[in-house]
């Protein structure tokens, strides 16, 4: 009898430990007062680290949107900053409630997560040196191309059949370009503008016939319709009343003005 009781206590303790490990109803939303967003704060004007941002040290268009979504639901937004490649895994593990990271809603990603209503339209562009002869995507054929690992820009260049070098951060790829070690960086338009504003001697080359437009959306766990509905309500409101437009203007100016 004594032994059974001990076993039961142990089983209960183990269940509890398992629960905290998988965060059942713990840090994750499910009615809690914190809504935890995962991001990769290496992507101005959408997310970057600064002294005092919209959410703690994190600022940018996405951070302001995340803050508002949480507020609309009587919650506080928290940010978990991680590598871009880790975001969808962290979402599936329940480590974060949602991903807001200038993330393009692609069919491939839709296989593992659900996406909100899109809130921003972007496209891939090419950053080159001012004197570059690259005028179209096809001109990249015999050039040294740099991309950021896991970004849709990498997928585009891959699909075009070109070889390339992938970096962990946009700033690293751009440094390679300014140092003359690569000829072109393929990356999202608004972020490219920011980098061109920050670095002398660079320009943007667009090729809309080669790069399709992309839509940024917030990702939630597959089937989490409760959270998705809340997020969509907030986004719809912010799209309709011009909030997202204003944020885009504000942060684009702010981050290119420095
Ligand atoms: N839009 C691109 C993608 O979905 C790049 C996003 C990068 N975002 C970031 N926070 N680092 O792959």
pLDDT, tens digit (0-9, with 9 covering 90-100), for 66-83: 999 999 999 999 999 999
> 240: exposed, middle or buried (C-beta count within 10 Å: 0-12, 13-18, 19+)?
exposed
Domains 32-121+215-257 and 124-212 share a fold: yes
Distance 204 CA to ligand 1 centre (A): 18
- Comparing 1-5, 139-143, 177-181, 213-217, the range with the smallest average pLDDT is 1-5
Average pLDDT over residues 126-153: 98
pLDDT at 254: 72
Residue 55 zone, left/alpha/beta (φ > 0; ψ -120 to 50; rest): beta
Distance, CA 147 to ligand 1 centroid (Å)?
11
Which residues fall within 8 angstroms of residue 200, CB to CB, at 6 or more apart?
A: none
Ligand 1 pocket test: which of 152, 185, 217, 251 has the largest number of ligand atoms within 8 Å of its C-beta?
152
pLDDT at 32: 78
Is residue 193 within 6 Å of ligand 1 at its C-beta?
Answer: no
Return the ligand 1 atom nearest residue 84 CA.
11
How much is the pTM?
A: 0.87
Confirm or reject: Cβ of 40 under 6 Å from ligand 1: yes
Q: Where are the domains of the chain?
A: 32-121+215-257, 124-212
The structure tokens listed for 230 are 């809340």
pLDDT band at 256 (very low <50, low <70, confident <90, very high): low
Q: Is the pLDDT of residue 11 over 80?
A: no
Residue 115 beta carbon below 6 angstroms from any ligand 1 atom: no
SS3 151: coil
pLDDT in tens, 15-63: 444 444 444 434 444 457 999 999 999 999 999 999 999 999 999 999 9
C-beta separation of 190 from 127 below 8 A = no
The verdict on domain 32-121+215-257 having CATH code 3.10.129.10 is no
* Residue 171 token pair: 């700033």
User: At residue 11, what are phi and psi to the nearest 5 degrees?
Assistant: -60, -40
Mutation to probe ligand 1, out of 84, 147, 155 (largest number of atoms < 8 A from CB): 84
Q: Does domain 124-212 have CATH number 1.10.10.10?
A: no
Mean pLDDT of the chain: 90
Q: Which residue has the CA at smallest separation from atom 12 of ligand 1? A: 151
């Amino acid at each position: 009898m004594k032994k059974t009781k001990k076993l039961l206590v142990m089983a209960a303790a183990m269940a509890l430990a398992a629960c905290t490990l998988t965060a059942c109803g713990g840090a994750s939303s499910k009615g809690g007062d914190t809504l935890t967003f995962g991001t990769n704060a290496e992507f101005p004007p959408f997310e970057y680290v600064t002294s005092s941002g919209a959410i703690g040290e994190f600022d940018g268009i996405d951070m302001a949107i995340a803050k508002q979504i949480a507020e609309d639901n009587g919650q506080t937004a928290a940010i978990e900053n991680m590598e871009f490649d880790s975001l969808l895994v962290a979402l599936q593990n329940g480590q974060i409630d949602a991903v807001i990271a200038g993330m393009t809603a692609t069919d491939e990603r839709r296989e593992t997560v659900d996406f909100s209503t899109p809130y921003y339209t972007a496209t891939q562009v090419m950053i080159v040196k001012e004197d570059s002869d690259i005028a179209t995507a096809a001109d990249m054929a015999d050039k040294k191309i740099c991309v950021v690992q896991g970004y849709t820009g990498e997928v585009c260049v891959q699909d075009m059949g070109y070889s390339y070098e992938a970096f962990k951060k946009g700033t690293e790829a751009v440094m390679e370009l300014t140092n003359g070690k690569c000829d072109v960086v393929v990356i999202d338009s608004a972020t490219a503008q920011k980098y061109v504003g920050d670095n002398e001697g660079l320009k943007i080359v667009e090729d809309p016939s080669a790069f399709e437009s992309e839509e940024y959306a917030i990702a939630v766990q597959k089937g989490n319709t409760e959270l998705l509905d809340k997020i969509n309500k907030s986004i719809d409101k912010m799209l309709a009343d011009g909030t997202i437009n204003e944020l885009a203007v504000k942060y684009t100016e702010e981050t290119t003005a420095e």
